[in-house]
Structure 1
Amino acid sequence: MARLYVTILVSVLMATTNCLADGWTTIRNGSVWLDTNGDTVQAHAPGFLHYGGRWYMIGEDRSDSWHPDVNMYSSDDLVHWRFETKIIRNGVTVPELGTRRFIERAKLMHNPRTGKFVVWCHWEGPRYAASEAACFSADSICGPYRLEWSGRPLGVKSRDCNVFVDNDGEAYFVSTTEENTNIGLFRLADDYLSAESHVCLMPGLRREAPVIVRHDNLYYMLSSACTGWAPNQCMLSVSKRLDRGWSQLEKIGDDKAFRTQAAAVIEIKGTKKTTYLYIGDRWMDPDLPSSKIIIFPIEFKDGKCIFEYRDEFRINFATGEVE
């Protein structure tokens, strides 16, 4: 009974510390995230979707480093994560997963036209020779998910990837293409299940881990160089149009991007302001299964990005304010 009382007391104190009565939540960086069961959160290279008042996060379960399942978690404060399910499982969802194929950088969208939930990801094989993508869909957010398509989108070699949904509901798959040489933008069909067109955005610049944000009618793209698991300088490009006109790369943050690689930027629309939160992977810290997830506020204004790491910050999800 004493041990149970201590456990309950610690849980209450943690909740009080992170979610204050005045509506502010404290987010701290540098530690491995634990879910509400006390298990390590396995959602590397995460993708996010805000749906039904909760944040849903999917990512690579690297507890089996080279055969990751895709896990789903949910949270209402980005601190307390509840494990929901494995939405894609090796050898179960698709037989060749875990043997001839593995998944990286799974990203989640909801299609308002069809009501379906759609995942796009990097669909890879031994020695990264396949250079393909895959698409899964489900009728409910927690699945079950089924494979809709896999291969090289429109015949283009594709690796590190992300998704972007514009203000008009048009969805895009964005990835590093042709042996990590270019950044490719693929416009998706109305149902989000296939690619309909492709344009090369950054020929020959060898960028990966692309993240696109739209703010004040400008498009901002964060990306990193291709250095494997080693961190490198995060760089910014800006454009008035999604399919062309991207500016020259500009350095942001420190020369190692605070030892992270971009996974997502999520938008918090509050009653007083809109805040953007950068989410990155701190790979191999201390090893692949225990790689950290890092989160901190950033700002976009007049074609610039204020990109400053914080060990700790407070956010009010109702107002959108950050301290």
Structure 2
Amino acid sequence: MKMMKRVLAICSLPLVSAASVYDYRADLASVTINNGPVWYDTTGGTIQAHGGSVIKVDSTYYWIGEDKLHDSATFRNVVCYSSPDLKNWKWVSYPLKPSSHAELASSKIERPKVIYNQTTGKYVMWMHYENATDYSLGRVAVASSNSVCGSYTYHGSFRPLGYESRDMTVFKDEDGSAYLMSASNSGTGTNGSLASFKLTNDYLNVSTFLGWVAENGHREAPAIAKQGGRYFLITSGASGWYPNQARYMTATSMNGPWSAAQNLGNSSTFYSQSNFILPVQGTSATTYLYMGNRWNPSRLGDSRYIWLPLTLNGANATASLEWRSQWNIDAVTGAVSYPNLVNHALGKTATASSSASGFAASRVNDGNYQAEWKASGVTWPSWWQVDLGATRNIQEVDISWFLYNGSEAYHQYRIEHSTNGTTWTTIDRTTNKTYGFTTDPVNFNARYVRIVLVNAVLWNNPNNWYTPTLYEVQLLGG
């Protein structure tokens, strides 16, 4: 008889009240997640688990992902870390290495996802497989092991039922059925549509093609969760290493049909790309954790991890994602809490250097990531300003910027603040090279805050044709 282990699968979990999940309290078991900085393991090394997934075995979480320490897309290792609390990660092993099989010696291995098969007692790893030189193969690869961080036996790479497969994920349902969702080609080009498959009972292959999802939508980076009897599929657009707007779809069956895509988060998904959804089922609450990649294509080993609480409501078929530079989670109880910060800009009087018809300055601080202010013409610099009504202490400035898919740009800007509207102090951010979303830790007291849009630098065009645009500005403080 095989020893049975209690493994947390991505499955249907009960919806808990907002009060129980977001009760702000200091719990001794609570740990702080900091989004943006480099994350280190317990030995002081940088965590290399890019594109990975988390699986819980008994009371321990295991994070399995890509080693990019060599700053290359080529395969170096799959890495496994362990943690009791989702914060303190211990390096455990390299479950899969280039020496594991001849086919891996010169290759790319991306987005490793591990699920546990209760029948066979095997941990099964699915991956995106390519040769070392390009992305022409469009295959999945499969490996398995008797232990979650043990040495995996490599079973080879293939196109599932002959279909191309690139960015992918696997999802295990509560009844033990498992599924593959991957960026594929329905006849309109690479990554033109998502392909959905059911896996064989041993999880080592696919048995059935379930159909096309988001057909001709050019979506990739799929991540799946289930809440309240409803499946949620989060994807990104196809824009290479650059961030873009995440969208989600829902269905009552993995066979579909899937709903029309809805926007999730802001225009750049807070400068991240969807990767995995981890349900943290605690003793008092269940939290769904969005795991995103903040890619750095020039130094892939320095790419960062963006983890945010994800609100899923199966009854209403809705999902929402908010930015948190810092937040706390208790992995035992499942409870989440946040620093006591207020968005002082929300709903306050806003003005601008100019406004195009229908794009008023008030749209920047209305709490809606999808509503933007736009200047009346291509005039740089331009500015947007808010009157907070009284002097407030500001500790963080979060800005959601405009991005054009295929011609993305980073913005050079200044933050100016004043207590009287006459004398101004400047924080110079004209050296910024972050795309889509910026978060600036600050500490100033002001009634008036102005964002000066100095320039937009397009990666593929020396000329700035952008119209000055802001989607949302949040001024957070006590």
Cross-structure match for 1:103: 109
The answer to whether residue 161 in structure 2 is matched with residue 154 in structure 1 is: yes
Query: What displacement does 1:97 show?
Result: 1.9
Deviation at 1:21, TM superposition (A): 6.3
Shift of 1:141: 1.5
Which of residues 168, 189, 193 in structure 1 aligns to 2:204? 193
Number of the residue aligned with 1:169 = 176
How do 1:66-81 residues align onto structure 2 when only pairs under 5 Å count? 66-68=73-75, 69-81=77-89
Distance 2:286 2:148 in 1: 25
- Kept after mapping to 1: 8 A contact 2:86/2:331: no
Alignment partners' CA distance in 2, 1:66 and 1:28: 26
Amino acid at match of 2:227: H
**Counterpart code for 1:24:** S
Greater displacement, 162-171 / 64-73? 64-73
**Match of 2:43?**
37
Check conservation: 1:149, 1:193, Cα contact below 8 A.
Answer: no
User: Retained in 1: the 8 A contact 2:51–2:293?
Assistant: yes
Does structure 1 residue 84 correspond to structure 2 residue 95?
no
Residue 53 (structure 1) shift: 1.1
- Is the aligned partner of 1:58 residue 2:59? no
For 1:295 and 1:285, locate their aligned partners in 2 and report how far apart those are by CA, in whole Å: 20
Does residue 272 in structure 1 map to residue 284 in structure 2? yes
Offset, 1:51:
0.7
Alpha carbons of structure 1 residues 200 and 21: separation in structure 2 relative to 1, 3 Å = closer
Shift in Å at residue 231 of structure 1? Answer: 0.4
Check whether the contact 2:94–2:151 (CA below 8 A) recurs between aligned residues: no
CA contact (8 A) 1:278 1:297 kept: yes
Runs of at least 4 residues off by over 4 Å: none
What are the ranges of 5 or more consecutive residues in structure 1 without an aligned counterpart? 1-19
Residue 242 of structure 1 pairs with residue 254 of structure 2: yes
Q: Equivalences for 1:293-304 in 2 at 5 Å?
A: 293-301=305-313, 302-304=316-318
Aligned residue in 2 for 1:313: 327
Letter in 2 for 1:253: G
> Would the aligned equivalents of 1:67 and 1:97 in 2 still touch at CA under 8 Å?
no
Report what 1:141 is aligned to.
148
Write the distance in 2 (CA, Å) between the matches of 1:181 and 1:137.
30
CA distance in 2 between counterparts of 1:200 and 1:285 reads: 30
Of the three residues 118, 124, 127, the one matched with 1:121 is 127
Rg (Cα) greater in structure: 2
The CA deviation at 1:28 is 1.3
- The alpha carbon displacement at 1:282 in A equals 0.4
Task: Give the CA deviation at 1:149.
Answer: 3.2
**CA contact 1:173–1:187 (8 Å) conserved in 2:** yes
Supply the AA of the counterpart residue of 2:117: N
CA offset digits 1:201-225 (Å, max 9, x no partner):
2211110000111100111110001
**Partner Cα separation in structure 1 for residue 154 and residue 330 of structure 2:** 38
Instruction: Give, in whole Å, the separation in 1 of the partners of 2:204 and 2:237.
Output: 29
Kept in 2: contact 1:285–1:292 (CA 8 A): no
Normalised to the residue count of structure 2, the TM-score between the two structures is: 0.62
Partner of residue 252, structure 1: 264
Offset at residue 316 of structure 1 (A): 2.0
Cα distance in 2 for residues equivalent to 1:78 and 1:286: 28
Alpha-carbon shift at residue 271 of structure 1 (Å): 2.3
SS of equivalent to 1:96 = helix
Q: Which amino acid counterpart does residue 255 of structure 2 have in structure 1?
A: D
Alpha-carbon distance, 1:285 to partner: 7.5
CA contact (8 A) 2:274 2:292 kept: yes
Superposed CA RMSD: 1.4
Distance in 2 between residues matched to 1:21 and 1:285, nearest whole Å = 38
**Cα distance between partner residues in 1 of 2:332 and 2:148:** 24
- TM-score computed with the length of structure 1 as normaliser: 0.90
Partner Cα separation in structure 1 for residue 66 and residue 243 of structure 2: 18
Equivalent residue pairs, number? 302
Residue type at the aligned position of 1:51: V
Shift of 1:77: 1.1
Distance 1:71 1:321 in 2: 28
User: 2:118 corresponds to which residue?
Assistant: 112
Equivalent residue number for residue 238 of structure 2 = 226
Instruction: State the AA in 2 paired with 1:165.
Output: K
Q: Percent identity?
A: 35
Question: Which structure 2 segments of 5+ residues have no match?
Answer: 1-25, 338-478
Alignment-derived partner of residue 345 in structure 2: none
Report the Cα offset of residue 277 of structure 1.
0.9
Map of 1:290 onto structure 2: 302
Match among 117, 132, 138 for residue 139 of structure 2: 132
Equivalent residue of 2:102, what SS? coil
Task: Provide the rounded CA distance (Å) in 1 between the counterparts of 2:282 and 2:213.
Answer: 32
